[in-house]
Structure 1
C-alpha cells in the first residue's frame, strides 16, 4: 500500500491521515458472524437497524456481531457514513479463483486471488483503494483491504437533483439506477469532486453528493437522530 493513501495498513495496523478520524473495520472469519468495529457515534444501533437493515444488531464490548448476509450493505453504508472501511478477511489456503469470483457482486471471497479480482466485473458502490495485506494464520490466510467510495473518470458536473425524492438505501438492487457521487462536484463547496451520498436522517431522502469531510462537518452540526 502506498503512503499517499488517506487510509492504509502499515505493519498490520490501520493508519489514517490527520482529519480522517477513527476508521470503521469489519472482520469476515471463515465461518460465523461478521464482526464489526465502527467509530463510536450516537445512533450507531439505529443506523445498523434502519439503514443497513439488520433486525437485531448485537453489541458486544466495543464491537458488533452481525449476520454475514449484511456484509455488502454494511460496507456500502459504512463508506457513505465514515468515508472508508477496512475489511479483514480469512480465506482457506487451498481455495482457487474462478470465474464466479470475477462476476461476484459482493466482497465475500474465499479464493487464492486474495480478493484482488473479486467483483471486478460488477458495478459496485465502493472500490478497493489499497492493496491487500497478507498474514499467515495456520490453516488460513488473512488479508486486509481498504475500501472507499467508487470514483469516476468523467469530468465532475454540478448536481441537478438527479436523486431528488429518492429514498437513501445501501442495497444493490435499490441503487441500480443511481449515478456515483463522484460524477458530481460537492454540492456544498462546489470546488472538489464529491465522494459520498448524504441523506436526511429524519425522512430518509437523498440530499446531495458531498465530500466525506464535508458530510462529516455537517453531521457534527446536525447529529444523527
Structure 2
C-alpha cells in the first residue's frame, strides 16, 4: 500500500518513513539544465565531479544546475548515496505511450503516460517506487516519480566479495556484469536486505552492499539533528576491507 512506501509524494511534498535518510530531488524542465537539490553535505561538489562525472557543477543558492546529459548517472549515483531520489518532470502530452517508452533505459520521458510506465520493461539499476504523481501546469504537465534501487526476487545471501577490486561506476555499461545489491544481506547490520552499493570515496573501489539505513550512517559530520537512523549494536564497518587500499593506513578510507 502507498502508506507503507519508504518515500512518497503527498500534496506536493516529499514524505519519508521513519528511519529513511535524506532524499535527493531533481527537476527536469521541458528545456534547459537539470536542477538538483541534494542534502547539504561536505564534499557534494567532489561527489558530483568525481562520482557522477560532471566537469563543472554549478551551485546557485541551495541547488545545483547540471547538464541534461548527466541525468541517468545522477539518478543512479543518488540512489547509491541516499537510497532514493525524487524526479520531477515537466512534459507535454503526446498521442500514445510507445514501446520505446516502455523499454527506455534512461529517465527522460515526454510520453502520454507521463512517466508512469517509462522504462518498466528495461533491465535497469533503479525502479519506480509507488505511483507517478501528476499535476496540470497549463502548457505542460508536471510529474513526480520516486526511484529506488532495483529489487530482486532471489533470497538474500551474505556478500563474499563478488565485486572485490572493481572500481565504482554509475554508468549502465560499467554495471552490466554486476549483481544487484538487493541479492545480498546488508554487509553492515546483517539484519535486512541490501539496497545500494557502497564505495570508498578515497580510493574509488566498490566495498559492499548496504541497506538504506546503514548507507546514511557513516558519512562524515553525522549528527542526530540530521534525522538519520540512530546507531545500533548490529553495526559492523569491517566491510571496509573490501577496498583493496583499506590497509594503507597513511591514506585511509573515507565513508
* TM-score bucket (shorter structure): over 0.9
Question: Given the alignment of the two structures, is residue 162 of structure 1 paired with residue 131 of structure 2, yes or no?
Answer: no
Q: Which residue of 2 aligns with 1:3?
A: 3
1:57 deviation in Å? 0.3
Aligned to 1:29: 29
- CA offset at residue 21 of structure 1? 3.6
118-127 vs 80-89, which deviates more?
A: 118-127
Alpha-carbon deviation of 1:95? 5.1
- In the alignment, which residue of structure 2 is the partner of 1:208? 208
Hey, what does 2:13 align to over in structure 1? 13
CA, structure 1 residues 185+80, in 2 after alignment: closer, same or farther (shift >3 Å)? same
Correspondence for 2:150: 150
Indicate conservation of the 8 Å contact 1:24/1:38, yes or no.
Answer: yes
Alignment of 1:54-133 (within 5 A): 54-94=54-94, 96-133=96-133
Whole-angstrom distance in 1 between the partners of 2:63 and 2:207: 30
Gaps of 5+ in 1: none
Alpha-carbon distance in structure 1 between the residues aligned to 2:124 and 2:9 = 23
User: Which ranges in structure 2 are unaligned for 5 or more consecutive residues?
Assistant: 223-251
Highest Rg: 1 or 2? 2
8 Å contact 1:43–1:224 — kept in the other structure? no
Distance of 2:108 and 2:80 partners within structure 1: 19
CA RMSD of aligned residues (A): 1.7
Task: Work out whether residues 95 and 110 of structure 1, in 8 Å CA contact, stay in contact via their aligned partners in 2.
Answer: no
C-alpha contact (below 8 Å) 1:42/1:224 kept by paired residues: no
State how many pairs are aligned.
225
How far the C-alpha of 1:99 sits from its partner, in A, is 1.4
Provide, for residues 186-213 of structure 1, a one-character-per-residue CA deviation record: whole Å limited to 9, x for no partner: 1112221111100011110000001111
Give the 3 Å change call, closer, same or farther, for CA 56–168 of structure 1 in structure 2.
same
Cα 1:5–1:196 change in 2 (3 A) is same
Q: Distance in 2 between matches of 1:224 and 1:141?
A: 42
